[in-house]
């Protein structure tokens, strides 16, 4: 089953890379430096966790793959834009991402700023120019979902809370609130989007939303554990940064063992929310395993 | 007529300020620093030229004012986000905007980065959650228009060309290409959006597009002339910056008099493209006058 999951994920990752290649502006198109930098920031990197979640939820709900490709690309572009801006000197000031120099290091800060801006715009452009639902009004609702998940009351808001939290002693609920916004909102949106590209009842959508919430939070807890233990080469990004920056993490708040236990509880809760879906939810279950059990 | 136009513009500006107040997240809503900074960057400032163009085009085409408010707000939020990011140290490094400290000066760079990001997201959120057209598919096409106008092949692309042009001797067509993207695309979108919130034929839309193109370019030429002549207090932003930064402008390329002449030709061309609209296009004509003749 594990080998089978790996093949499934690798096939999607490989196909999705081609999808992104085709959807991004060509490197030869003016302004070339900007377009080259956009491609640098998005292509050839990342585990594509959000797209895989969208594909798995979409397969469960009978979604058309061409629609899933666009939905997954939009979510991944939003994610990529947030990484480019996060890595900038005025934010996390990081030099390494996915084993490569960060965008502002490889190019320059002004270009990185415009890359992030343009990737966000491109995400919304894709959603407006490709048909994701037979019902255009429903598609507008999906666009709204992504906007809310990524804006000041979602991902960007989580980063603002993160900035405010440096050097502060957050409580566990405060840390959770930050991560539910910062990483959780977009992961939930990826699952919901995948499902909505197909056919899904409101009740099932609620279960999938809970699954996405648990997986999103587990993802962050595991990230904190890995960050506290791994070295930079294994991680592909600078290790131990959050603790160095005096940022609260699940590990600094709970200790490594309690953080691992928390990830396991979230994992169980995520699987529990898929119970009524039967065999069709197999890839979602495997993704939950993958996210929580990697490197443990 | 001039007094009448001033009343018309003032009434729209005043009402639109309330619209923006209501559409922006409340300052008391968490994350409060981010939401406060978003309001700081948008409210109480600017001539609202793009919204006025949308209102004027909308009035010409019988658009509902509640739809125009949303369309104008989305365009203005995109404009405001671009100003916040443009002013940052890695871009134009400016400290004064609309007579107030720029966002990163008043708050900090990281907050300004997130403010710009979140204002862009909010623009697309508004377009997805409010009804702008009876036909949802047409509304998606309008969303696409804004995305194209503001992304790497529009406004952000123009800024990338601008960055690349520092210290270079651009030709007039190259300078024009930069401005058609950097400021022109969004101004054209404002006009087209206003019209599309109402009822308009493809032929008329083409005429309005040409009007927007001329006005957008004239706007930039006039800006260059004012920038070369005015002092900082009158301008409400740092004067003479572009020439100081060794950036090509219409004035450095043509000289002041030829730049003025160019603005006048564009003005005449803009008015010419409105000929077949009759009295209904009065406000658009007055806006063209306002944009080109201000401070001359």
Angle at B38 between CA B32 and CA B40, to 5 degrees: 100
What is the overall mean pLDDT for chain B?
92
Beta strands in A33-158 (DSSP E): 96-97, 100-101
A152 touches chain B (CB under 8 A): yes
Contact B244, B250 (CB under 8 A): no
Whole-angstrom distance, CA of residue B157 vs CA of residue A35: 9
How does residue B229 score in pLDDT terms, banded at 50, 70 and 90? Answer: confident
Whole-angstrom distance, CA of residue A265 vs CA of residue B53: 55
Dump pLDDT digits (tens) for B30-45: 999 999 999 999 998 7
Contact (CB<8Å) A163/B139: no
pLDDT at A240: 58
Whole-angstrom distance, CA of residue A128 vs CA of residue A144: 11
Contact (CB<8Å) A136/B136: yes
B140 touches chain A (CB under 8 A): yes
Residues on chain B touching A151 (C-beta within 8 angstroms)? 118, 121-122, 125
Dump pLDDT digits (tens) for A184-229: 999 999 999 999 999 999 999 999 999 999 999 999 999 999 988 8
Q: In the structure encoding, which two tokens stand for residue A67, read together? A: 């629609």
Dump pLDDT digits (tens) for B62-99: 999 999 999 999 999 999 999 999 999 999 999 999 88
Whole-angstrom distance, CA of residue B192 vs CA of residue B206: 9
Dump pLDDT digits (tens) for A62-101: 999 999 999 999 999 999 999 999 999 999 999 999 889 9
Q: In the structure encoding, which two tokens stand for residue A32, read together? A: 């070339």
pLDDT at A2: 57
Dump pLDDT digits (tens) for A93-124: 999 998 899 999 999 999 999 999 999 999 99
pLDDT at B242: 61
Contact B191, B219 (CB under 8 A): no
pLDDT at A169: 84
- Give residues with Cβ within 8 angstroms of A139, minimum separation 6: A127, A131, A132, A133, B136, B140
The answer, yes or no, to whether residue B244 has pLDDT greater than 80, is no
Whole-angstrom distance, CA of residue A269 vs CA of residue A276: 13
User: Which SS3 state, helix, strand or coil, does residue B101 take?
Assistant: strand
Residues on chain B touching A162 (C-beta within 8 angstroms)? none
A166 touches chain B (CB under 8 A): no
A279 CB neighbour count, 10 Å cutoff: 7
How does residue A241 score in pLDDT terms, banded at 50, 70 and 90? Answer: low
Output B232 or A47, whichever has higher pLDDT.
A47
Query: Concatenated DSSP letters for B38-88?
Result: HHHHHSS-S--HHHHHHHHHHHHTT--HHHHHHHHHHHHHHHHHHHHHHTS
B163 touches chain A (CB under 8 A): yes
How does residue A295 score in pLDDT terms, banded at 50, 70 and 90? Answer: low
pLDDT at A227: 87
Please state the separation of Cα A167 from the chain's center in Å. 26
Question: Residue for token digits 């040409």?
Answer: B210
Contact A273, A211 (CB under 8 A): yes
Contact (CB<8Å) B164/A90: no
pLDDT at B234: 59
User: Which SS3 state, helix, strand or coil, does residue B31 take?
Assistant: coil
Contact A107, A30 (CB under 8 A): no
Q: What percent of chain B has pLDDT over 90?
A: 83
Please state the separation of Cα B9 from the chain's center in Å. 15
Query: Which DSSP state fits B24?
Result: S
Model pTM?
A: 0.94
Interface test with B, best of A151, A157, A181, A182 (most B CBs within 10 A): A151
Whole-angstrom distance, CA of residue B82 vs CA of residue B87: 9
pLDDT at B210: 97
- Give residues with Cβ within 8 angstroms of B33, minimum separation 6: A160, A164, B107, B111
CB pairs under 8 A between A and B: 155
Dump pLDDT digits (tens) for A15-27: 999 999 999 999 9
pLDDT at B236: 60
- Give residues with Cβ within 8 angstroms of B42, minimum separation 6: B20, B24, B76, B77, B80, B119
Please state the separation of Cα A186 from the chain's center in Å. 6
The answer, yes or no, to whether residue B289 has pLDDT greater than 90, is yes
Interface test with A, best of B78, B88, B113, B138 (most A CBs within 10 A): B113
How does residue A236 score in pLDDT terms, banded at 50, 70 and 90? Answer: low
Dump pLDDT digits (tens) for B115-171: 999 999 999 999 999 999 999 999 999 999 999 999 999 999 999 999 998 888 889
- Give residues with Cβ within 8 angstroms of B65, minimum separation 6: B58
Whole-complex ipTM: 0.94
User: Which SS3 state, helix, strand or coil, does residue B97 take?
Assistant: strand
How does residue B237 score in pLDDT terms, banded at 50, 70 and 90? Answer: low
- Give residues with Cβ within 8 angstroms of A294, minimum separation 6: A222, A226
User: Which SS3 state, helix, strand or coil, does residue B157 take?
Assistant: helix
Domains of chain B plus CATH, in order, are: 2-293 (1.10.600.10)
Contact A162, A178 (CB under 8 A): yes
What is the overall mean pLDDT for chain A?
92
């Amino acid at each position: 089953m594990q080998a089978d999951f790996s093949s499934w994920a690798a096939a999607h990752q490989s196909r999705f890379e081609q999808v992104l290649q085709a959807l991004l502006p060509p490197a030869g198109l003016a302004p070339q430096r900007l377009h080259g930098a956009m491609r640098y920031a998005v292509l050839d990197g990342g585990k594509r966790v959000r797209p895989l979640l969208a594909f798995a939820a979409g397969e469960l709900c009978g979604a058309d793959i061409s629609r899933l490709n666009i939905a997954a690309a939009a979510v991944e572009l939003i994610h990529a834009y947030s990484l480019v801006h996060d890595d900038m000197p005025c934010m996390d000031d990081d030099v390494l991402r996915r084993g490569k120099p960060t965008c502002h290091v490889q190019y320059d800060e002004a270009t990185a700023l415009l890359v992030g801006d343009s990737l966000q715009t491109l995400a919304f452009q894709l959603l407006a120019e490709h048909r994701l639902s037979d019902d255009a009004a429903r598609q507008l609702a999906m666009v709204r979902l992504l906007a809310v998940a990524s804006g000041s009351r979602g991902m960007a808001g989580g980063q603002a809370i993160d900035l405010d939290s440096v050097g502060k002693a957050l409580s566990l609920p405060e840390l959770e609130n930050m991560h539910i916004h910062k990483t959780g909102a977009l992961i939930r949106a990826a699952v919901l989007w995948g499902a909505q590209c197909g056919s899904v009842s409101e009740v099932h959508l609620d279960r999938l939303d809970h699954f996405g919430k648990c997986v999103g939070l587990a993802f962050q807890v595991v990230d904190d554990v890995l960050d506290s233990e791994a070295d930079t080469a294994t991680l592909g990004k600078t290790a131990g940064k959050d603790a160095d920056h005096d940022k609260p993490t699940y590990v600094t708040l709970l200790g490594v063992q309690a953080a691992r236990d928390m990830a396991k509880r979230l994992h169980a809760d995520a699987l529990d929310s898929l119970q009524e879906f039967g065999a069709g939810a197999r890839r979602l279950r495997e993704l939950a395993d993958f996210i929580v059990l990697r490197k443990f």
